[in-house]
Structure 1
Amino acid sequence: MNWTSDIEVVVLDMDGTLYQDQTFMRRYLSYLLEGTDRHADESELYEQVERILGGSHACKIGYFYDPLHRLILRHRQGEVIAAISLEGGDADEEKRIGLYGANKRDMSDCMYIGDGWGTIGFMAHYLGIEPAKRTEAFLRVREEMVSDKLGFTRHIALLTAVKRLKSKGYRTLLMTNSPERSSREFVAYMGMEGEFDEVLFNASKPTGLLNRLQRMIEEEGVRPETVVSVGDHAWNDLYPVKKLGGRTIWISPYDSYDEERWDARMSDPDELADFLDRLPDKSLFINSNSNSNKGASI
């Protein structure tokens, strides 16, 4: 990865990037099903979740789901190239073109199945769970994830690597679409308070990331090729940065069926920690330049 020597700005997602936790998904699904007539089917439905994550379901990591038309969408850079029914059969070409023509490419009313959260979100839509119930279940499981009993595992090596970035001369941004209240609790739980130059909660990615990077380029003179974005949800975390010429790292324990290619692929936070540790120490170059200019006359 010769391009790493150009990196000056590191943009990090939070959920699935700074930590990984697969245990929440079963609880999340269970809370969604509480009080519904599908609660008895929990084991069967969770098997479907595992099939999605494993790539044997019609819905796969890297696809979109259109909840209005109940169609799974295979795409190429956001352009729909196949529409698939929930049973796995392709919709006819005329219907696909009619629904997903050129004016449909923003995909704003479709769900990108990018991670465990998105997989459970797909199941909630598929089952017709009401929005209020989805919010209740989400907040409940988020609260548990930073509890003493059910809290996720902190990755000390990654925490240490992130803390070193500032002293090594890198600018760091943490951007998450998660609500501010629970996200602040997560940052504190991970021991990463005060470790980022900028933290954006409710970041509205992908649009929010695209807009923030554009402002950095236009107003601050940041060169796109000096930015690397790391995340497990490619549509939110990587597509906007690649569009503007930045570098991208997809991190996930699962395989993706998205056809886009990223600059690097990692499976877990330990790999990310190793990558961040190996970024060159730019402070040495900055200090060297400062020292060489001492005593210079004008």
Structure 2
Amino acid sequence: MHNILLNAEVLVFDLDGTLYDGTEHYDYYASQLEKEVDVRYLESFRNDYEQMKKNNHILSIGKVYDSKNDYVLTLDPLTLTISEVHTWDGKLVDKNQLDDSYIQSFSLTEPFIPIGDGWWLPLVTSYHYGARDVWHCYDKTKEFMSTEQFKIPQIKGLIEGLHAIKDTKKLVLLTNSDRADVTRLLKILNLDNLFHLELTDGNKPLETEKHLKHIMNLYNVKPEEVVSVGDNFINEIAPALKLGMHGVYITDQSFKQISPTLSIIPKLDMLFE
């Protein structure tokens, strides 16, 4: 088991993209979203999404999409301030051409959309090509995920690993998914009744710090005794590092080691080896 878990008192896990593997549901979501795109842009939509999955597009997980100006923003991973601005086709925008308030007043609220995981890639691509009011596509994808056609790939060693530590450490689930979806997924994953606390509809990243502080107060622990585990740096990891907690960032992309309390792993099963 990873040393970072052995020394922790509380482990906070994300759900979607963290506690189960696979990308089939993202592709299904893209297939629903493309129905909302004008036929003139359909080929471009598909091509951009495929390039994103290969990390060959300026828009990637960890970036922020400005849906008003159609910009792709690169953030400083710790301060979450804008470091670079690009156009959709990858051209660097001179900051001197931007209004001073654009950089200074930036926040993770509309029209800015953090690209935290694979759900957001097809969504913002549909926005770029003019689609709007597409949340029914997400609902349809969730319905698909509840059918027998969809098989959630289980993470090797996860169930056994959590059972091995649940009596000595507090296990917390903090997710943006709603209660009904969480209950259904945990049952499918055989992870129901494993977590001491389940926080749903979390409104991350805007309320991540609030939730983490609540968890510390609830279990009377210090920041260094808490580990936040997730695949979304903006949602789960940056707020934890800011509070002095440990973070385990799950990503298969190259990422700079920016903090001694940050661990970067390509797959969650490495935590339980």
Match of 1:255 in 2: 253
Q: Does 1:98 align with 2:100?
A: yes
- Structure-1 residue corresponding to 2:143: 143
What CA deviation, in whole Å up to 9, does each residue of 1:32-71 have, x standing for no partner? 12264338825x5333223223322121222111111111
Give ranges in structure 1 of 5+ residues lacking alignment. 275-298
> 1:198, 1:221 → 2: CA distance?
14
The SS at the match of 2:166 is helix
Q: Equivalents in 1 of 2:124, 2:156: separation in Å?
A: 32
Q: C-alpha separation between the residues in 1 aligned to 2:51 and 2:216?
A: 41
Hey, what's the Cα distance between the residues in 2 that align with 1:40 and 1:198?
Answer: 45
Q: Structure 1 residues 55, 33: CA separation in 2 closer, same or farther (over 3 Å shift)? A: closer
Q: Is the 8 A contact 1:62 1:112 kept in 2?
A: yes
Match of 1:186 in 2: 185
1:119 Cα deviation (Å)?
1.1
Report 1:101-180 matches (<5 A).
101-104=103-106, 106-109=107-110, 110-131=112-133, 134-155=134-155, 157-167=157-167, 169-180=168-179
Equivalence map 1:215-226=2 (5 Å): 215-218=214-217, 220-226=219-225
Displacement of 1:174 after TM fit?
A: 0.5
Amino acid at match of 2:241: K
CA distance in 1, matches of 2:50, 2:271: 25
Count of aligned residue pairs for this structure pair:
268
What TM-score does the superposition give when structure 2 sets the normalisation length?
Answer: 0.88
Asked whether the 8 Å contact 1:146–1:189 carries over to 2, the reply is no
- Residue range with higher mean Cα deviation, 17-26 or 31-40: 31-40
After superposing the two structures, state which structure 1 stretch, 64-73 or 201-210, moved more. 201-210
> Greater CA radius of gyration, 1 or 2?
1
Q: Which amino acid aligns with 1:10?
A: L
The letter for the 1-side match of 2:10 is V
- Verify the 8 A CA contact 2:37 2:130 in the aligned structure 1: no
Q: Distance in 2 between matches of 1:30 and 1:219?
A: 42
Alignment correspondent of 1:23: 24
Tell me how far apart the structure 2 counterparts of residues 122 and 258 of structure 1 sit (CA, whole Å): 25
Q: How far has the Cα of 1:128 moved from its partner?
A: 2.3
**Is the 8 Å Cα contact of residues 213 and 241 (structure 1) preserved in structure 2?**
yes
In structure 1, the partner of 2:39 is 38
How far residue 31 of structure 1 moved from its aligned partner, in angstroms, is 0.8
RMSD: 2.3
Provide the identity percentage.
23
**Unpaired segments of 5 or more residues in structure 2?**
none
Map 1:209-288 onto structure 2 (within 5 A).
209-218=208-217, 220-252=219-251, 254-255=252-253, 260=258, 263-274=262-273
State the alpha-carbon separation in 1 of the partners of residues 219 and 152 from structure 2: 37
- Give the CA deviation at 1:187: 1.2
